[in-house]
Chains A and B, each alone.
Chain A
Amino acid sequence: GENVEQHPSTLSVQEGDSAVIKCTYSDSASNYFPWYKQELGKRPQLIIDIRSNVGEKKDQRIAVTLNKTAKHFSLHITETQPEDSAVYFCAASRAGTALIFGKGTTLSVSS
């Protein structure tokens, strides 16, 4: 089955810096890669996703890139703000299967 590795487990940045979180997956048939954000004590919420036929997707300050050959994808957050502080989860799945999540990255943005 699918296995998703996520790095780093914790990331601390200064406000205004960029943050990058990386994930690798094992199943070459996986074709859907979402990112979820979970604020402290709250439920996970989708922030951006990408399909395997797309190399990059942007939404304001966040972007996701996908390298199918290397089987890895990354979340990029630019101009970080304190409200970006949260746990971020990557996930992967192939058609017809449920999402498999990485272990999460705790991002801390200090002002």
Chain B
Amino acid sequence: EAQVTQNPRYLITVTGKKLTVTCSQNMNHEYMSWYRQDPGLGLRQIYYSMNVEVTDKGDVPEGYKVSRKEKRNFPLILESPSPNQTSLYFCASSLPRTGSPLHFGNGTRLTVT
């Protein structure tokens, strides 16, 4: 089954404790992206990757890091989480073609206390 898998689904952590949210897709998609969803703000792009070893900042990259060492994986790293990073995070992937639909994971709800 074609899917984007995020782990964990829920995560509660404390300020400053490094964490990684994993994302893996099995569709051989070149393009992958991370979004955060906050009430009243919709989805905002954090980082995206056009292919292996090619990443770029989205609209809200501060406080986040990413890496793309393999085509299927695109982890999101919070080196020193803060309470304002409490949010619902989504990973997505697509083919590198105009108008290609994004395939989303089921989300990771992160709470930073």
Q: Do A and B bind each other?
A: no
Task: Give the interface of B toward A (CB within 8 A).
Answer: none
Task: Give the interface of A toward B (CB within 8 A).
Answer: none
